[in-house]
Amino acid sequence: MSAVDRMLKGSRGSILATLALSLSACSFPTAPSGAGSSPTALEISTSPVVPSELPQDTPGPQVSPSAPPLPANAYLIPTSVWPETGDLSQPLDGAVAYEVSPASLSQGVYFVALDSSDNAARYVSLDGKETGVLLRLGEGLKLPDRLADQRGQLLLADLRRTSRFYDLAQRTAWEVGPICLWRTALSLSPAGDWIAADCEETIQLDGVPQPHTVVEILSTQEGVGYRIALPRIPGSDPSRSPFVFWIGPRTLIASNVWLEGHLNTCGFSLDSGILYCPPLTPGGDAPSFGGVEPDGEFVTLIYRDRDPWESAVAQKSCFEVSGACTIIALEEPDTIPVLTPNSELVWWITPLEPTQSTRIGFYIAPGWGSQEVAVLEGDYVVSEVCPDGGCLFLEDIESGSVYRLDLDGALTPFPHGEIIGSFSVP
């Protein structure tokens, strides 16, 4: 059982008691000097501890005597259970109609597209010839904007301060919130089990005097979870505050984390409670997280402090303690890499500004050379990537029209609405 699961298991009293060993009331930890360094009183113990083992006569934070040594670049950070009482889950109040079950569809790949005219989420086959309604919502309910695959069971989500979830297999709907959503979008874990959001600056963890950003992590099913404190640059503008995104079922990536006098990009594991910040650029600020493909091997990194900015792909395991780490520099400057499930293929696209056209191309292993595929007039963004990586879907920002672009440059209209994800029927 993981450290987080132990926090969530049992009564509220048990949860809070378990966390008594997991709160730092003084400051953020300093980095251990190397593998084998022992946690100090300023670090948080994530060793499994049952309530009966807690010292009853010693208030305040303690370090578990069984806490294992931390390796270099690993930190245990301030954590608290959230909410303090009860939970944030409640039934959804509104009309929800479930129509075609995904399990009843023929074998193949399907996309989930939004039909705003009918307030419905539809399935669309890869060739665009087969379509139908999965979910239709009543008045006052906003269409979902995320799709997660819970081990073959599809979950649609409308992520906002009070988020709504629709389980297409169980045909149930519920809400979780309010969530301390601030400047970035909520992040949904690949299987839809967890959501994470960075909180507004007015929300702080008690007993942590240093400048920090609070990140709220909640179970989408139970509406309970916890808050963690990520150190930020003192007096920095919001654009340089920490932000998080899921890169695995139980792993977050956090950018702009201020440790050791530099900005870091780190991995945070729900299983260990450890924040691991690999030395991506020793002696300098780390690149920011750019994007991830849930089923792929890599994350993208953006070096925005360089002119022109540069990008790279890094193995997800770079952000795990003792994980293998390969970083591949990409040659197209001032572009945004777009990962695919195919670890040997990465698309790229130019940002919305400053030009009036959009260039699109791809890199391919093993040489990772760049090939331009198309130049389109106007501003386009990538809304979805095909499951084999061989095509992507582009949305025209001005008109809202969606097009499929293949590796050979073929551009085909896809008149089925905004795409929020894809799934496969075996």
**pLDDT of 282:** 79
Which phi and psi angles does 183 have, rounded to 5°?
-100, -20
% of the chain beyond a pLDDT of 70: 81
Place 11 in a pLDDT band, splitting at 50, 70 and 90: very low
What's the pLDDT tens digit per position in 165-191? 999 999 999 999 999 977 666 899 999
**pLDDT of 322:** 86
Give the start-end residues of each E strand in 249-297.
Answer: 251-259, 262-269, 274-276, 288-292
DSSP, residue by residue, 364-383: ETTTTEEEEEEEEES-EEEE
SS3 169: coil
Please enumerate in sequence order all residues whose Cβ is within 8 A of that of 367, keeping only pairs 6 or more positions apart, or say none. Answer: none
SS3 403: strand
**pLDDT of 407:** 95
CA–CA gap between residue 97 and residue 116 (Å, rounded): 15
CA–CA gap between residue 17 and residue 80 (Å, rounded): 11
SS3 299: strand
Place 13 in a pLDDT band, splitting at 50, 70 and 90: very low
Place 353 in a pLDDT band, splitting at 50, 70 and 90: low
**pLDDT of 285:** 86
Report CA 3 to chain centroid distance, whole Å: 20
CA torsion angle for 30, 34, 36, 42 (degrees, to 10)?
0
What's the pLDDT tens digit per position in 360-416? 999 999 889 999 999 999 999 999 999 889 999 999 988 989 999 999 999 999 999
What's the pLDDT tens digit per position in 200-222? 888 999 999 889 999 999 999 99
With a cut of 90, say whether residue 419 has pLDDT above it: yes
Report CA 366 to chain centroid distance, whole Å: 28
**pLDDT of 184:** 62
> 336-357 burial by CB neighbour count: b if 16+ within 10 A, else e?
bbbbbbbbebbbbbbeeeeeee
Q: Which residue has the tokens 């792929």?
A: 296
Name the residue type at position 387: P
**pLDDT of 265:** 95
CA–CA gap between residue 151 and residue 207 (Å, rounded): 40
How high is the mean pLDDT of the chain?
82
Report CA 75 to chain centroid distance, whole Å: 20
What's the pLDDT tens digit per position in 58-70? 233 333 445 567 8
Q: Which residue has the tokens 């360089």?
A: 306
State the number of CA atoms in the 13 A half-sphere of 393 facing the CB: 25
CA–CA gap between residue 231 and residue 233 (Å, rounded): 7
10: how many CB neighbours lie within 10 A of its CB? Answer: 13
Q: Average pLDDT, stretch 87-108?
A: 95
Q: Which residue has the tokens 């030395």?
A: 279
More confident residue, 153 or 190: 190
